[in-house]
Amino acid sequence: MKMTMKEIAKLANVSQSTVSRVINGNTGVNEESAKRVLDVIDKVGFIPNKAAQTLKRSHSHIIGVCITETYNPYFIELIDQLESQARKHGYNILLHNSNHNPIQEWESVQNFISRQVDGMIIVPTGDYNVERISKLSTPSVVITQNRKFLDSVGLDHALAGKIVAEKFIHSGHKSFGFIGTEPDDKYFGYRMALNENGMKLKEENYVQLEESSTNNILMRRDIESYLNQVGNIIDFTCAFAANDIMALEFINAAKDRGISVPEDLNIIGFDDTYLAKIMGISSIHQPIEEMVTTTFELLLNRMENEVSSKPVQIKLKPTLIERNSSNLVRVP
Amino acid sequence: MKMTMKEIAKLANVSQSTVSRVINGNTGVNEESAKRVLDVIDKVGFIPNKAAQTLKRSHSHIIGVCITETYNPYFIELIDQLESQARKHGYNILLHNSNHNPIQEWESVQNFISRQVDGMIIVPTGDYNVERISKLSTPSVVITQNRKFLDSVGLDHALAGKIVAEKFIHSGHKSFGFIGTEPDDKYFGYRMALNENGMKLKEENYVQLEESSTNNILMRRDIESYLNQVGNIIDFTCAFAANDIMALEFINAAKDRGISVPEDLNIIGFDDTYLAKIMGISSIHQPIEEMVTTTFELLLNRMENEVSSKPVQIKLKPTLIERNSSNLVRVP
DNA sequence: CTGTTAGCGCTTTCAG
DNA sequence: CTGAAAGCGCTAACAG
């Protein structure tokens, strides 16, 4: 069942190298023999062994992709783009999930190396491994975030925060909230823009979720506990959520307490996943397709040119997609 | 930067085969030399070339996975399980997405073969390729569906339909709806159970969505057009949706017309994705983890034993997870 | 316990 | 235009 070139060669009455030649582009092979080879290949359904090709050519046409989670639908759209654009360029995807675990991340990277991947695309678990990844001879690019040492294509999160802040201010809001895990650029950009406009983000209006709340039971529990803590009285009339799931969960929790969105509370999420689309939640859109396109440009460039120039940091621009949840009705 | 065993051997003053021995389990190697080798490996960060190993051992420790879409969050949970369980067994995942396209599916399979995958796990696009896949020397198992010719682990969809039907009848409903693309086992099981209980599923209560509605804009459009067609009057008080997204979209569309769930309309979805969990939608739960576990059992078994026994069809049992959307309030 | 040797299946000079 | 031959990095007899 599993043929080799040698056998094809015998069947077609040519040498193995001729078989190889016709498979790799036909250059300089007599039409007759070429046809004969092609016929045999077709008849027996021969498929060349890529392990051997990889060994010989020392490149595999595989790209290792390591993401941090699959919980957020955002990552699915990312995987989808990655897979389809990779294929467009003639590459396959070896997919790993680090689950936010730096050790697992490093193991994945080692695995990629051992498989002779031609490049890696990584959503890092943090700063843990980026520097040593940058020292490897296999080119990598960070996606979704910006990190030193490596090419990276992310989003201008601070600008996202600013856009949201300005939208809220423009709508006439006076008290603001934030829903997220640890403070990040989104948060800082949001707060700063608020300050610049003479507004303030009160500390008690930071609905802080545990970093580990990457599953809905925990997330909802954290939200409930916040709400109970403030006696079910939400002191803000608008809030920026660090992702769409958080936005949605907060909206649900509020609704259970008779607080309606957008009537009593305006919410803007982040990622603009289909969750936001289905539920009519305003959200900061990340241009995933463009992000992936840019990532491949960088990666393919590094793969082709040995030249190791300085890493570049690309920050794409976020845009606000307005839907019902920030559609001021009677709030302030 | 990229070392080979030969170089390690030289640095550690042993032969290449000794290096190979210590890497592959240390059996029968003098402790001294072993330690020396290990030290060198550690110092230079040597990682063996799996392409060479694959070529030599003629197995790759890769499993090819080909799914049909990423739109439904159900598939994400599937990918996640597949990846983590594969890793647990020492395998990596090569991920492809056929996008419901049989031609792409076959290309993926060929690609898998060329990469010497040890096995394949496939969500088929239909019956197009299963038979010829079954003839390949690489073992495969179908997941999520049941198909002839190949080992397959799916769900008892007809039973799911029956469970839903009985739940609705038990709640006292008298008129029933169905939301989905083409009629399938879910639908038939549902209708049959209804009939057996003296009830009827009227043809005009079949909210038929285009097969291609695998993105929310199209799906919503189809729902809207159905609703407009029936003059915004929903003739049923309960409906079974073929997946959670459809359920949610229908609930939203109904809500826009002043029809509340569960007050005026009960809905049960399918897949029990986090969408259902977050939104409080009752749904038929698919035991994804168990499904994947079973799939690996079958696959690993085929991979280890050359014996080609008859393909087995496994149908796991669905369960209904009741949430708010089927929580009868005043409907019938 | 360890080194030597012969390939795994393919690509790629090098001659002819 | 085409065959012979070397070798990619590794494993696994086979001798010692």
pLDDT, tens only, A286-322: 999 999 999 999 999 999 886 678 999 999 999 999 9
Model confidence pLDDT, tens digit, residues B88-138: 999 999 999 999 999 999 999 999 999 999 999 999 999 999 999 999 999
CB nearest B95 (choices: A95, A114, A275):
A95
Q: Which residues of B50-64 are buried (b: 16+ CB within 10 A; e: fewer)?
A: bbbbbbeeeebbbbb
Those residues whose C-beta lies under 8 Å from the C-beta of residue A132, and which sit 6 or more positions away, are: A106
- Averaged confidence pLDDT in chain A: 93
Give all strands (DSSP E) within chain A, no chain letters.
Answer: 62-67, 92-97, 119-122, 140-143, 151-155, 176-180, 206-208, 238-241, 266-271, 282-285, 313-316, 319-321
pLDDT at A24 over 90: no
Q: Which of A32-36, A115-119, A211-215 has the lowest mean pLDDT?
A: A211-215
- CA distance, residue A195 to nearest chain B CA (Å): 34
| Position A63 confidence tier, pLDDT thresholds 50, 70, 90 | very high
- CA distance, residue A2 to nearest chain B CA (Å): 8
How far is the C-alpha of B158 from the C-alpha of B67, rounded, in Å? 23
Q: Which residues of A263-291 are buried (b: 16+ CB within 10 A; e: fewer)?
A: ebbbbbbbbbbbbbbbbbbbbbbbebeeb
Q: Work out the angle at residue A64's Cα, subtended by the Cα atoms of residues A58 and A65, and round it to the nearest 5 degrees.
A: 165
* B53 CB below 7 A from strand C atoms: no
Q: Which of A126-140, A209-223, B74-88, B92-106 has the lowest mean pLDDT?
A: A209-223
Chain B residue with minimal CA distance to A277?
Answer: B216
Question: Choosing among B95, B105, B224, B256, which should be mutated to test the A contact, i.e. which has the most A CBs within 10 A?
Answer: B95
Q: Which of A182-191, B15-24, B198-207, B235-244 has the lowest mean pLDDT?
A: B15-24
Chain A residues inside the 8 Å CB shell of B73: 73, 76
| Position B211 confidence tier, pLDDT thresholds 50, 70, 90 | confident
> Could you tell me the distance in Å between the CA of residue A264 and the C1' of nucleotide C8?
70
**Cβ atoms < 10 Å from Cβ of A102:** 14
| Position A331 confidence tier, pLDDT thresholds 50, 70, 90 | low
Model confidence pLDDT, tens digit, residues A85-107: 999 999 999 999 999 999 999 99
According to DSSP, the residues that pair with A121 across neighbouring strands are A65, A141
The pLDDT value given to residue B213: 54
The pLDDT value given to residue A243: 93
pLDDT at B190 over 80: yes
- CA distance, residue B152 to nearest chain A CA (Å): 23
pLDDT at B168 over 70: yes
Please give the C-alpha separations between residue B207 and each of A192, B73, B243, B324, in angstroms, as whole numbers: 49, 22, 13, 22
Positions in chain D where some atom is under 7 Å from a protein CB: 1-5, 7-13
* A26 CB below 7 A from strand C atoms: no
* A265 CB below 7 A from strand D atoms: no
Taking the CA atoms of residue A11, residue A14, residue A16 and residue A19 in that order, the dihedral angle to the nearest 10 degrees is: -80
> Could you tell me the distance in Å between the CA of residue A179 and the C1' of nucleotide D10?
53
CB nearest B48 (choices: A55, A60, A114):
A114
The pLDDT value given to residue A257: 93
Chain B residues inside the 8 Å CB shell of A278: 216, 245, 248-249, 252
Those residues whose C-beta lies under 8 Å from the C-beta of residue B170, and which sit 6 or more positions away, are: none
Chain A residue with minimal CA distance to B219?
Answer: A278
Task: Tell me the two tokens of residue B55.
Answer: 């070529």
Phi, psi of B58 (to 5 degrees): 50, 35
> Could you tell me the distance in Å between the CA of residue A28 and the C1' of nucleotide D3?
14
User: A30: which nucleotide lies closest, measuring CA to C1'?
Assistant: D1
Q: Closest Cα to residue A60, out of A68, A49, A51?
A: A51
Positions in chain C where some atom is under 7 Å from a protein CB: 1-5, 7-13
User: A4: which nucleotide lies closest, measuring CA to C1'?
Assistant: C9
According to DSSP, the residues that pair with A269 across neighbouring strands are A283
- CA distance, residue A97 to nearest chain B CA (Å): 8
Please give the C-alpha separations between residue A205 and each of A193, A208, A234, A235, in angstroms, as whole numbers: 16, 9, 8, 7
Task: Compute the radius of gyration of chain A from its Cα atoms.
Answer: 26
Residue recorded with tokens 């990596």: B92
> Could you tell me the distance in Å between the CA of residue B57 and the C1' of nucleotide D12?
10
Average pLDDT over residues A241-267: 94
Verdict on whether the full-model pTM lies above 0.85 = yes
Average pLDDT over residues B17-29: 85
| Position B305 confidence tier, pLDDT thresholds 50, 70, 90 | confident
Q: Work out the angle at residue B215's Cα, subtended by the Cα atoms of residues B212 and B220, and round it to the nearest 5 degrees.
A: 95
Q: Which amino acid is at A92?
A: N
Q: Which residues of A39-69 are buried (b: 16+ CB within 10 A; e: fewer)?
A: ebbeeeebbbbbbbbbbeeeebbbbbbbbbb
Q: Hey, is A269 helix, strand or coil? A: strand
CB nearest B83 (choices: A97, A136, A279):
A97
| Position A215 confidence tier, pLDDT thresholds 50, 70, 90 | low
Q: Do B55 and A51 touch (CB under 8 A)?
A: yes
Residue recorded with tokens 């804009």: B217
pLDDT at A204 over 80: yes
Rounded to the nearest 5 percent, the helix, strand and coil shares of chain A are 45, 15, 35
Q: Work out the angle at residue A161's Cα, subtended by the Cα atoms of residues A157 and A165, and round it to the nearest 5 degrees.
A: 165
Chain A residues inside the 8 Å CB shell of B41: none
pLDDT at B32 over 70: yes
Question: Choosing among A54, A107, A245, which should be mutated to test the B contact, i.e. which has the most B CBs within 10 A?
Answer: A54
